[in-house]
Chain A
């Protein structure tokens, strides 16, 4: 039997939309708070979600964030339409970044995004194919 979904939401994220970057994460945080999720878990989901949303804006050709809340955990999946990451182990390294000047001028692109997502999530999985896209699945335990 499929596990019961307490809440589900999909957020399309546009490439290079620096102005509204973070609005999906802000909404995710508000919704989780309404469900009674607080404290450390809420903060970790918020930070990881903001990082992954920024990555979609800065690096992808566009994509979406899918949020599903189960009784046992929060699941956040990011999927994009490319360009894909050629070297995942390099991308996961702290300090490595291919962000452009616009992202850097906003205070991002320090190469902390992916490692920070991994640190904040209880489960982290990344799959990427050049020319196809990147999928990141993060889970945060509630119990």
Chain B
């Protein structure tokens, strides 16, 4: 799907990057824990989060993420949006909760970023 499809599925508002909505997306991750995002994400993906502080954008910058989806109708402040704009990030916001947003996108074919699913033998 494209970011435009995500906007439709989530009934989202586009806060930034109107000109980049045709960008294709294949995977996403959902977390409020930037530590985990930094540790497990290694591709240019979409981050779905309820956290609206400058470190969400910083984390996206370090990982070259394509798009930020804020859930529960959250809108980050101007300063955060400005720094997202500097990195050409697409930023959208949806009224859906994180769980529902993920479910809707999964139903449309979006998948999680690949992370190891097997338990280590010592676990």
Interface residue ranges, A against B (CB under 8 Å): 19, 21-22, 25-26, 29, 43, 46-47, 49-51, 106-113, 115-116, 119
Interface residue ranges, B against A (CB under 8 Å): 32-39, 42, 51, 53-56, 58-59, 61-64
- Which A residues are in CB contact (< 8 Å) with B32? 107
| A46-B61, A116-B38 known, 12 other contacts, Cβ within 8 Å | A21-B55, A26-B58, A26-B62, A29-B61, A43-B63, A46-B63, A50-B62, A108-B34, A110-B33, A112-B35, A113-B35, A119-B39
Q: How far is the CA of A47 from the CA of B54 in the complex (A)?
A: 16
The answer to whether A26 and B36 touch (CB under 8 A), given A107-B53, A107-B56, A108-B55, is no
Q: Are B35 and A29 in contact (CB under 8 A)?
A: no
The answer to whether A26 and B33 touch (CB under 8 A), given A19-B54, A106-B53, A115-B39, is no
Q: Are A50 and B64 in contact (CB under 8 A)?
A: no
User: Smallest CB-CB separation from B41: which chain A residue?
Assistant: A47
The secondary structure that dominates the A interface is: helix
The answer to whether A108 and B35 touch (CB under 8 A), given A22-B55, A50-B58, is yes
- Which A residues are in CB contact (< 8 Å) with B51? 106-107
- Which B residues are in CB contact (< 8 Å) with A51? 38
Q: Are A43 and B42 in contact (CB under 8 A)?
A: yes
30 residue pairs from A and B, CB less than 8 Å apart: A19-B54, A22-B62, A25-B62, A26-B58, A26-B61, A26-B62, A43-B42, A43-B63, A43-B64, A46-B61, A46-B62, A49-B62, A50-B38, A50-B58, A50-B62, A51-B38, A106-B34, A107-B32, A107-B35, A107-B37, A107-B53, A107-B55, A107-B56, A108-B33, A108-B35, A110-B36, A110-B39, A112-B35, A112-B39, A116-B39
